[in-house]
């Protein structure tokens, strides 16, 4: 098949190619937020495009401050909009090319959280990450808990504190139990961490009492984003028994602003790891359900250069998204358009691919040397953490942009 070409200049190695065309919410010069599609260094203003009659549905769906109403129209509509825009970007004689008001430079735009998140769930689906944590805190010989290979373990997080990339994060405070102490103390966390994750956005409602079968789960997934589930490891360690994560997680999670559709990700499907023991029937899937997406995490100290901390890949996930969603609804829990479900930390098989400072420093026992001569075991104030993701197969390449956040001192 001949590679697709667009008349819009797309920089080499751009995340936002003609094959991608992710959806987001942007504003310019104080105007109200509205929907757009990214191509190269530009944003296509979907509200203006709809007003000109070049795409359907009507303009009102694209002048909303979130994508929820648009996504709720269903994949048949949302993917047709994406394909309509793609055709306009390929056609040298298109009205889109003739009228520059349809395009907005990304450098002039402010990006917003693209969806109103009703509920947020965080899974724990990387075998390598779960094994590393188990070795550190439980038993090196029996690192996984008995349930881990039977269910996609997860917990319900705090949707109100999910923020768009670029939002500064204040160091959280809470109770920690110092080593050897008899009682806890209240202080800012001394073990602030990132978690390299991806998340999917729910694109279809289900009814209370309804279970979404694993064979149809993908019908309910609109697209994916990069996700940093910030973690305060010392607060988490003291609080998580017996009910799991709470203040050590709920203070903030950062999300990339562009939602890459599942249609754009279709070329990058791959087979996931073998699941042994065999899972229960309601979790059994057929065909390739994982995605080959390269991921990286960079750290930039204040007044310093960014350098890579780790490189991983989404294909390593033991539990796939269809299994996660099917398990999430198997008890009749309903899901809604705009719900976010995160993967859990994505770690690979060697130390260079560990997706958290907890693993990279092995619980603080190892130091990470930076180019400026500084060292880290966990994240310090004024460090900026940036995650990136991209996929390439032959002539087809796409990317997610980035999710970035700077750590400010505790308030």
Which DSSP helix (H) or strand (E) runs through 238?
helix 233-239
Question: How many residues would you count in the chain?
Answer: 411
Angle at 158 between CA 153 and CA 163, to 5 degrees: 115
Q: How far apart are CA 78 and CA 207, in angstroms?
A: 22
Which tokens belong to 374?
């500084």
Q: How far apart are CA 355 and CA 197, in angstroms?
A: 8
* C-alpha neighbours within 13 Å on the C-beta side of residue 320: 25
Which DSSP helix (H) or strand (E) runs through 35?
strand 34-39
CA 30 to chain CA centroid, Å, is 27
* C-alpha neighbours within 13 Å on the C-beta side of residue 20: 32
Quick check: is 129 catalytic? yes
What is the three-class DSSP state of 313? strand
Which tokens belong to 178?
């110092």
Question: Which residue reads 């103390």 in tokens?
Answer: 185
Give the bridge partners for 396, in sequence order. Answer: 393
Buried b (16+ CB within 10 A) or exposed e, 95-110: ebbeeeebbbebeebe
Q: Any residues with CB less than 8 A from the CB of 146 and at least 6 apart, and which?
A: none
> What letter does residue 31 receive in the DSSP assignment?
P
Checking 300-307 for CB contacts under 8 A at 24+ apart, the result is 300/383, 300/384, 300/386, 301/370, 301/372, 301/374, 301/380, 301/382, 301/383, 302/382, 302/383, 304/370, 304/371, 304/372, 304/374, 305/371, 305/372, 306/384, 306/386, 307/370, 307/371
* Catalytic choice (129, 150, 170, 327): 129
Residues annotated as part of the active site: 129
């Amino acid at each position: 098949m001949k590679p697709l070409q667009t008349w819009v200049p797309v920089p080499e190695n751009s995340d936002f190619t003609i094959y991608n065309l992710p959806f987001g919410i942007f504003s310019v010069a104080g105007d109200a937020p509205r929907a757009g599609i990214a191509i190269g260094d530009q944003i296509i203003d979907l509200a203006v495009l709809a007003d000109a009659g070049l795409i359907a549905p009507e303009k009102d769906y694209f002048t909303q401050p979130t994508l929820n109403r648009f996504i709720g129209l269903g994949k048949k509509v949302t993917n047709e909009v994406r394909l309509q825009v793609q055709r306009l970007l390929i056609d040298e004689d298109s009205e889109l090319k003739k009228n520059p008001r349809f395009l907005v430079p990304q450098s002039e735009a402010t990006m917003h959280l693209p969806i109103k998140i009703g509920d947020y769930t965080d899974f724990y689906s990387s075998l390598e990450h779960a094994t590393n944590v188990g070795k550190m805190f439980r038993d090196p010989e029996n690192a996984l808990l008995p349930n881990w290979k039977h269910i996609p373990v997860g917990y319900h997080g705090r949707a109100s504190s999910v923020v768009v990339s670029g939002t500064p994060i204040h160091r959280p405070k809470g109770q920690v139990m110092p080593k050897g102490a008899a009682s806890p103390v209240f202080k800012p966390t001394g073990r602030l961490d990132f978690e390299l994750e991806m998340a999917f956005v729910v694109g279809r409602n289900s009814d209370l009492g309804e279970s979404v079968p694993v064979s149809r789960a993908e019908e309910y997934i609109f697209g994916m984003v990069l996700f940093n589930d910030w973690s305060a490891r010392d607060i988490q360690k003291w609080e998580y028994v017996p009910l799991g994560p709470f203040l050590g997680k709920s203070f903030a999670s950062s999300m990339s602003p562009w939602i890459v559709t599942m249609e754009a990700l279709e070329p990058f499907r791959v087979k996931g790891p073998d699941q042994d023991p065999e899972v229960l029937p309601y979790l059994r899937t057929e065909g390739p359900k994982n995605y080959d997406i390269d991921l990286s995490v960079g750290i930039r100290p204040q007044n310093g250069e960014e350098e890579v901390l780790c490189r991983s890949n989404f294909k390593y996930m033991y539990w796939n998204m269809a299994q996660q969603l099917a398990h999430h609804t198997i008890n009749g829990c309903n899901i809604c358009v705009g719900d976010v479900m995160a993967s859990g930390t994505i770690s690979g098989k060697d130390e260079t691919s560990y997706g958290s400072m907890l693993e990279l420093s092995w619980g603080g026992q190892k130091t990470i040397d930076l180019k400026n001569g500084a060292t880290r075991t966990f994240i310090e104030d004024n460090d900026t953490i940036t995650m990136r993701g991209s996929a390439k197969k032959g002539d087809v390449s796409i990317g997610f942009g980035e999710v970035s956040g700077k750590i400010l001192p505790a308030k």
